């Protein structure tokens, strides 16, 4: 099993490090953003034929929007597959959206759809690979969420 799933402990604080599960296509924007976070991470497989990971501890999902005008879909099928696993839905604390404001009203719509369907909050939205300010704000938010969650586990 991926070591990222095993719940590494932060030696300074004694609390578990935040965990981000994310999908990123070959363009890799979301991957670049997540790599800059102070968090463990698990990347969802690119191929839908591969098994989706089954999580063992709470995590935040980070998903880009890929609008498909004909099918009306926006959540990548790899993310849908991951969310079809009941345990994954149970452990999800919230969702972050990646997108591009050029898409107007459809900006990060996948995160909005996931939030409604899975009854979790949208924690943050960012464009493409995010800015250094996005990274700082998300790091702060994840740290606060994990501190809260370790005091009041779900």
Ligand X SMILES: Cc1cc2nc3c(=O)[nH]c(=O)nc-3n(C[C@H](O)[C@H](O)[C@H](O)COP(=O)(O)O)c2cc1C
Distance CA 148, CA 116 (A): 23
Which stretches does DSSP call E strand in 92-142?
92-99, 122-127
* Nearest approach, Cβ of residue 59 and ligand X (Å): 17
Q: How many residues belong to the site for ligand X (CB under 6 A)?
A: 21
Count of H-run helices and E-run strands, the chain:
5, 5
* Nearest approach, Cβ of residue 14 and ligand X (Å): 33
Q: Judged by CB under 6 A, does residue 48 bind ligand X?
A: no
Distance CA 63, CA 125 (A): 10
78 versus 146: smaller Cβ distance to ligand X = 78
Out of 5, 122, 128, 145, the only residue in the binding site for ligand X (CB under 6 A) is 128
Cα–Cα distance list, 20 to 17, 67, 68, 104, 132 (Å): 10, 23, 25, 26, 18
133 secondary structure, DSSP code? H
30 versus 41: smaller Cβ distance to ligand X = 30
Instruction: Select the residue whose beta carbon is closest to ligand X and give its number.
Output: 99
Q: Judged by CB under 6 A, does residue 131 bind ligand X?
A: no
Q: Judged by CB under 6 A, does residue 99 bind ligand X?
A: yes
* Contact footprint for ligand X (CB under 6 A): 24-25, 27-31, 64-67, 74, 98-100, 103, 106-109, 128
């Amino acid at each position: 099993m991926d070591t990222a799933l095993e719940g590494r402990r932060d030696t300074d604080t004694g609390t578990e490090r935040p965990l981000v599960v994310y999908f990123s296509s070959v363009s890799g924007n979301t991957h670049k953003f997540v790599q800059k976070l102070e968090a463990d991470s698990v990347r969802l497989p690119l191929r839908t034929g591969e098994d989706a990971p089954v999580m063992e501890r709470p995590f935040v999902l980070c998903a880009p929007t890929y609008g498909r005008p004909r099918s009306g879909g926006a959540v990548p099928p790899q993310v849908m597959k991951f969310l079809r696993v009941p345990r994954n839905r149970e452990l999800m604390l919230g969702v972050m959206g990646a997108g591009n404001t050029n898409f107007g009203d459809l900006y990060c719509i996948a995160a909005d759809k996931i939030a409604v369907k899975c009854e979790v909050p949208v924690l943050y939205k960012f464009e493409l690979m995010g800015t250094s300010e996005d990274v700082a704000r998300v790091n702060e938010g994840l740290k606060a969420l994990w501190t809260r969650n370790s005091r009041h586990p779900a």
